Structure 1
Amino acid sequence: MKHTIIDASQFELNEKVVSIKRVTKVVKGGRNFRFTALVVVGDGNGHVGAGLGKAAEIPEAIRKGKEDAAKRLVNVPLDENNSIPHDWTGKFGGASVLLKRSPEGTGVIAGGPARSVCELAGIKNIRTKSLGSNNKQNVVLATIEALKQLKSPEEVARLRGKSVDEIRA
């Protein structure tokens, strides 16, 4: 399935830093310390992306992560009660994230990394369960992978050559 690349300049993107890690490289003269920042960006209206930034200082790593995330935006179809159109499981590495649609008033029931992705995508009602690995980077990427695979009822109807009412029945 082909995904279109979304131009990030047309959206007002909010950012959330999911994790900052200090990484060490041992060299002849001692140790080199650098920082890795996992950043999620989204417009709260169906567009979300995640990126990784690495630098000697934390603010620079966050800036690079935000730039990387803006390049990788995906479109998320939302239904009438700001939930997802159907249940789906996303997998990335050892992590799997189960996304379940929910009725109005449920709120975002999700663990830390998956919660930040759902909130920045503009999803207001969803239940998620993180399965497998708890690695924050893989959980974020598995959540985005699941959101990328979602199809709206209109898209499914078009692919099957039927009307939306026939699909929902």
Structure 2
Amino acid sequence: MAERGGGGERGGERGGFGRGFGRGGRGDRGRGGRGGRRGPRQEEEKWVPVTKLGRLVKENKIHKIEEIYLHSLPVKEHQIVEQLVPGLKDEVIVITSYYGFGRGFGRGGRGDRGRGGRGGRRGPRQEEEKWVPVTKLGRLVKENKIHKIEEIYLHSLPVKEHQIVEQLVPGLKDEVMKITPVQKQTRAGQRTRFKAFVVVGDGDGHVGLGVKCAKEVATAIRGAIILAKLSVVPVRRGYWGNKIGKPHTVPCKVTGKCGSVTVRMVPAPRGSGIVAARVPKKVLQFAGIEDVFTSSRGSTKTLGNFVKATFDCLMKTYGFLTPDFWRETRFIKTPFQENTDLLARPKGLVIEAPAEKIEA
């Protein structure tokens, strides 16, 4: 035991923390765990000011910190504050890891989005950026010429602005499924980035999946949310037996696959609930499925492939038409053809008044 304690002291002298993360005396933090009791330093370092303001404070020419605030002087030495504000106290609020909080699926504060979920409570932005559409479809949505997202699905129009989905599907919620670090071997060494998987949905037949890789966690999550909104697809729902009430389950047996993971969904009677693992259950809740039986096979511990296979399974609900969809449909004009005059107008017409000549 004495030898291990000695090892802790040696580790502390080298400046290491070790496994124990213990707190000890000066430098007594090492592999052995907690060193001795932490106390004040034996020899306080003498302050030698390096700025003009520091020299004035050291010579007692400035007695209150308000004199510094009055003239907006930059403070570049912490000893200035320590001398002018003697009763200063400090406290550590929280210590977090590099890129994670917990595994929960809760939404969090801005920037405090952890590995398995987003911690804390999220608030609205201070200044919302005004949306200026850059595509024809965006202009039609901004002018309220398109009221439902089904009009876009009917004509298979490409959606290239996430604000279109935000305006047409107002009750959209997002969830961070996982954030995992990925590495690439380069000539200079390993480059680490973060890959985020985000699912969005309104719980009423619309769901989307986004995957984004970036150097920072916040950037990856933000990009994944945008990609998930751009990939929102309709989910067809049906009945298990008699067509009573609202559709509550998948219309038929469907199978989705990604990599080695295969997900199969089977219609379930009303009241069965979602019989699925944690990952597909969250996706199915966002899609608005209330009752379903699922089975999965393959490497389901690979969450990325697992959630992609579930999303592929939901996409296939509209991949084919059952006999009740065989009736003849009347083709209508696309939104671009109906609003040709609106789209032909320039976005902003600026007419400059002629300058008046000034006689000398």
TM-score range relative to shorter protein: 0.7 to 0.9
Aligned residues with identical type, % of pairs:
33
2 CA distance for matches of 1:35 and 1:81? 39
- RMSD over aligned CA atoms reads 2.6
Partner of 1:145: 312
Tell me which moved more, 44-53 or 107-116: 107-116
Structure 2, unaligned stretches of length 5 or more? Answer: 1-153, 239-245, 329-360
| Pair 1:52-2:52 in alignment | no
Structure 1 residue identity aligned to 2:307:
V
Higher mean alpha-carbon deviation, 98-107 vs 143-152, is at 143-152
Q: 1:36 aligns with which of 182, 195, 214?
A: 195
Structure 1 residue 125 corresponds to structure 2 residue 291: yes
TM-score (norm 1): 0.82
Aligned equivalent of 2:236: 77
Deviation string for 1:111-133 (max 9, x for gaps)?
12211210110111112111123
Q: How many residues get paired?
A: 160
**Alignment gaps of 5+ in structure 1:** 162-169
* SS of alignment partner, residue 150 of structure 1: helix
User: CA-to-partner distance for each residue in 1:88-146, whole Å, 9 max, x for gaps?
Assistant: 11122221101111112111111122112101101111121111231222221221222
What is the TM-score when the length of structure 2 is the normalising length?
A: 0.41
Aligned pair in 2 of structure 1 residues 38, 26: CA closer, same or farther (>3 Å)? same
What code does the residue aligned with 1:85 have? P
Q: Give the Cα separation in 1 of the matches to 2:205 and 2:325.
A: 20
SS of corresponding position for 1:147: helix
> What secondary structure does 2:184 align onto?
strand
Q: Kindly name which structure, 1 or 2, has the bigger radius of gyration based on alpha carbons.
A: 2
How much does 1:25 deviate? Answer: 2.6
Q: Tell me the residue number matched to 2:273.
A: 107
Structure number with the bigger relative contact order (C-alpha 8 A, sep ≥ 6) is 1
Q: 2:316 is aligned with what amino acid?
A: Q
- Give, in angstroms, the shift of residue 3 of structure 1: 8.8
CA contact (8 A) 1:81 1:103 kept: no
Kindly indicate which of the two structures has a greater share of residues assigned to strand: 1
Greater mean alpha carbon deviation, residues 120-129 or residues 135-144: 135-144
Q: What is the CA distance between 1:50 and its match in structure 2? A: 0.7
Letter in 2 for 1:62: I
> Which residue of structure 2 lines up, in the alignment, with residue 8 of structure 1?
165
